[in-house]
């Protein structure tokens, strides 16, 4: 629920986690880019439990520029939950969501807004060039391919975080009750007319990526399990195939006994052991997979809040 009812034309939502060196250049470029579009805007930083000087840097920027809001979360809740805090708070008719590391240049925002005016509710940036790490790009392509094979809510290939959403689009996102928040999937699920626009994609301005391999794998698993039941169906199909094969083998053994062929039943210890190990291993994997879904149901049922706002810093010049 928005904390304010003030009408605003454009909101920019930026989750930040240990981005101290990026705040000043980002704000300077962003204010320049956005104030060329409208005076009625707000820039909402959501501090996702930073341990560096990010919060202080945003507060310093608030002293220079109006319309900057800072929601400081009580700990690190993850980029997607932090973004949700921004979506819940913001009141813009159009809402931009972007990263803080200047990989997506703020100067590209007018391009996205221009496309939106053609009648779209979601316009996302497409990485027009290879500005980030090759590994990340390849991992993202692989994930999107896999996700799109397993779900009915396809993700755009090569999309980056920067996107602009209409008010009704954001309202639909905010109405999604789920706790495990994979925003790209949620964006896809809510529907509406959408388009992609190529934007420049730069290397990170300062600092390190906040997503190491473990975090990337975790997010990919969360994304797929939140939007697909195909892995569960795969277990059923596998079980049917194995049951079918063993039934065929049983018929074969009965026929061999009745008609007296293949008399050497003593041999075959090794294949039996392999079959036992194989099926034992597969059963553990499948049990684990069911456990993953069960754990997610557990998290959803507990219905804990997605984030907790510890402090709400307003701009010197007013703001909300
Ligand atoms: N971020 C966040 N919480 C986290 C991790 C990241 O708010 O737990 C923010 C981060 O500060 C940045 C954005 O999410 O603004 C994207 O993170 P990053 O640039 O590290 O991701 P990458 O571009 O490497 O995928
Ligand atoms: Mg980045």
What is the predicted pLDDT for the residue at 319? 47
- The confidence score (pLDDT) of residue 3 equals 46
Sheet of 309-313: strand order equals 194-199, 122-127, 159-166, 92-97, 8-16, 41-47, 68-73, 309-313
Q: What is the pLDDT of residue 2?
A: 46
Backbone region of residue 107 per phi and psi (left: phi > 0; alpha: psi in -120 to 50; beta: other values): alpha
Q: What is the pLDDT of residue 1?
A: 44
Give the tens place of pLDDT for each residue, 1-42.
444 455 789 999 999 999 999 999 999 999 999 998 998 999
Cα 200 to averaged position of ligand 2 atoms, centre (Å):
13
Q: For the chain, list residues with pLDDT below 70.
A: 1-6, 263-266, 316-320
- Residue whose CA is at the smallest distance from ligand 1 atom 12: 99
This model's pTM is above 0.75: yes
Q: How much is the pLDDT for 215?
A: 92
Pocket test for ligand 1, best of 13, 72, 79, 206 (most atoms within 8 A of CB): 79
Instruction: Compute the distance from residue 22 Cα to the ligand 1 centre, in Å.
Output: 12
pLDDT of residue 183: 95
Pocket test for ligand 1, best of 46, 101, 138, 207 (most atoms within 8 A of CB): 101
Query: From ligand 1's centre to the CA of 304, what distance in Å?
Result: 23
Q: Which ligand is nearest to the CA of 204?
A: 2
Q: How far is the CA of 46 from the centre of ligand 1 (A)?
A: 11
């Amino acid at each position: 629920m928005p904390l304010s009812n003030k009408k605003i034309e454009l909101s920019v939502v930026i989750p930040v986690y240990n981005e101290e060196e990026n705040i000043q250049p980002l704000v300077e470029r962003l204010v320049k880019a956005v104030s060329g579009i409208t005076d009625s805007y707000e820039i909402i930083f959501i501090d996702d439990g930073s341990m560096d000087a990010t919060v202080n840097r945003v507060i310093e920027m608030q002293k220079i520029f109006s319309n900057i809001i800072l929601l400081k979360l009580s700990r690190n809740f993850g980029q997607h939950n932090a973004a949700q805090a921004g979506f819940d708070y913001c009141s813009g008719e159009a809402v931009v969501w972007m990263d803080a590391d200047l990989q997506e240049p703020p100067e590209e925002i007018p391009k996205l807004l221009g496309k939106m005016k053609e009648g779209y509710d979601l316009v996302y940036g497409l990485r027009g060039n290879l500005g980030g790490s090759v590994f990340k790009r390849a991992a993202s392509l692989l994930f999107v391919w896999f996700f799109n094979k397993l779900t009915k809510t396809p993700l755009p290939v090569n999309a980056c975080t920067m996107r602009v959403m209409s008010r009704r689009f954001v309202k639909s996102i905010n109405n999604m009750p789920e706790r495990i928040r994979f925003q790209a999937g949620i964006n896809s699920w809510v529907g509406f007319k959408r388009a992609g626009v190529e934007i420049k994609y730069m290397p990170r301005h300062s600092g390190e990526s906040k997503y190491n391999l473990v975090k990337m794998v975790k997010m990919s698993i969360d994304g797929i399990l939140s939007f697909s039941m195909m892995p569960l169906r795969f277990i059923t199909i596998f079980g049917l195939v194995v049951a079918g094969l063993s039934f065929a083998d049983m018929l074969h053994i009965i026929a061999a006994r009745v008609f007296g062929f293949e008399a050497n039943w003593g041999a075959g210890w090794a294949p039996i052991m392999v079959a036992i190990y194989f099926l034992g291993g597969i059963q553990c994997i499948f049990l684990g997979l069911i456990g993953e879904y069960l754990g997610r149901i557990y998290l959803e049922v507990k219905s804990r809040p997605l984030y907790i706002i510890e402090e709400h810093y307003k701009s010197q010049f007013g703001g909300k």
